[in-house]
Amino acid sequence: MTLNDPSSISQEPQPPRGSNPPRTRRRRRGQLTVPADAEGRAALFQSLARRAYPSYELFVFAILCGAIIGLGFVIDSQAVLIFGILMAPLLTPWIGLLLGAITGSARFFGETLAALLISAALIFVSGVLAGFAARPFLPRTFNEAFLHSRLWWPDLIVLALGAIILTISFVRSENKPYLPSVMLAYEFFLPLSAGGFGLGSGVGDLWPQGVLVFLVYFAWATLFGFLTLIALRFMPTNFAGFAFSAGMIVIIAVILIGLMTGGSWIPSTGPRLGSQVATSTSSPLRTATETLPPIMDATPSLPPSSTPVIETETPTETLAPSPVPLTLEITLPPSETPTMTLTIEPTPVYARVLSDQGGGVNLRKQPGGQYIATLDNNSIVEVQPETQDVSGVTWAHVIAIKGNTKLDGWILQSVLVVATPIPNWQPSDTPTITSAAITSTP
């Protein structure tokens, strides 16, 4: 039974044979009219459910789509990703999920939900395998994987429009809605595959951020698809339908509120698809400090005093006492030894950015963490002594100047070229010059 069947659409008088109906009447026949009687509504729902029932093509095209998307993440190519989305399966089972909830059919709801979960698992597993295939080529920057594993408000707007158009196109026409299905597949499958790619490759925080973005997008699209069916007068008619519909709305609300308001993985602002904006970090700017020598409080050394001796003449008289020598001796304490210490700051190590792919490298807040800016090739950075090893990839701490802004972050050590290599990226010891002790001997 189709939507143009007389049993499911309001009856109209047929024109005489051989005459053409007016254009307005032909257009009215192509529009959806929900029957008022229970039998007509049941026939209409049965026709829509038969068209939305999943087939083996859903899983075959899911495997093909997942393999091409994984290849696009490995070679970091946006064109390959778009080609993979064009090979995505038709997402009419997603409409079947909504119809199963409205009608209260537990079996149909479970079958369509299971089919969607299996297809999503195939996409995710393909991303994991692509991540393992990318391990021998590390370290590398995977810009597309990082972009599609983040939540962006423009994508939510596109996703809402795609869900509304797909729902209306499906119920008002028997033609397969390929274009709106591609819109949903783009938002569903790319974050999901990016999460699997991060799990397989161990790069950054792609996992589980990509899976969380997929859950938010799926709940968001389901909410707008459900509201569109209600606007088209597809209302629950029994207790099971009301229970399924209320439960779905509650689950969607919990997912959206929990993930969109409580996650630090959601950037507040940001462009999409390559238009990156450099942001300055909140860490204070480093200032060069000079170590001054301590103030000396030296006591000058006085020459030792001579010992005066007072002698008296010996009188000729025998009764005079014998002379007694009088000695006066003054002893001064030795002076303190002055010490002067001079501390010299280590010479800064500068390096040049030279990446063989992409024309530059991403500067991140932590190793493999939040994106800060893109440093072009031949940019000069100041290399700091700290390094970190994350999943076999060495990250270097650098300070860069971009747009009159001082940026402090981490980049891949392999893209840095220095004039004088420093072993293990450690600064040389700080030399200390100590003046010779000056001691005066009393």
* pTM greater than 0.85 (yes/no): no
Give the residue from 167, 60, 138 showing the smallest Cα distance to 415: 138
The residues of the chain scoring below 50 in pLDDT are 1-30, 264-319, 423, 427-428, 430-442
Closest CA to 15 of 5, 25, 4: 25
> What CA dihedral angle connects 86, 88, 89 and 93, to 10 degrees?
-110
Which SS3 state, helix, strand or coil, does residue 318 take? coil
Give the H or E element holding residue 40.
helix 38-52
Q: Which residues have a Cβ under 8 Å from the Cβ of 278 and sit 6 or more positions away?
A: 372, 373, 374, 402, 403, 405, 407
Structure confidence at residue 272 (pLDDT) = 38
What is the residue whose two structure tokens read 């996409």?
A: 123
CA pair distance 359, 378, nearest whole angstrom: 9
Q: What is the pLDDT of residue 325?
A: 56
- Is the CATH number of domain 53-261 3.30.70? no
> Would you list the domain boundaries of the chain?
53-261, 343-432
- pLDDT value of residue 45: 86
Q: What is the pLDDT of residue 427?
A: 46
Q: What CA–CA distance (Å, rounded) separates 47 from 39?
A: 12
Predicted confidence at residue 378, as pLDDT, reads: 84
User: What CATH number is given for 343-432 in this structure?
Assistant: 2.30.30.170
pLDDT tens sequence across 87-140: 999 999 999 999 999 988 999 999 999 999 999 999 999 999 999 999 998 888
Query: Do 53-261 and 343-432 show the same overall fold?
Result: no
Q: Which residue has the tokens 């595959």?
A: 193
